[in-house]
Amino acid sequence: MKLTNKEIGNYLIWVAVNFVVLLVFGRLEFGSYEFYPLGGFEEISDYDISEFLAYTIVPFIVILAIKLKKD
């Protein structure tokens, strides 16, 4: 199983976008009672480390699962 350069590049862009959102709009702490965007899109200040981890690790796991299924 080998990830292509396009897959790696797309994933890194996704991580960078989420990192910028975390630094600019979010909070660098755990413990938000609302999971963004389930609390509404107008409350981007609810975005914290838990959302960052979910939105960056889950796609990576999905990519790996798809690659493993193809092999």
Alpha carbon distance 30, 28 (integer Å): 7
How many Å is the Cα radius of gyration of the chain?
14
* Token pair belonging to 3: 């990830």
- Helix (H) or strand (E) segment spanning residue 10: helix 5-24
pLDDT at 17: 94
Cβ-based neighbour number of residue 17 at 10 Å:
12
- If you average pLDDT over residues 1-26, what whole number do you get? 90
Q: What pLDDT, in 10s, does the model give residues 16-55?
A: 999 998 898 887 777 666 676 666 666 777 788 888 999 9
Lowest mean pLDDT among 2-11, 15-24, 29-38, 60-69: 29-38
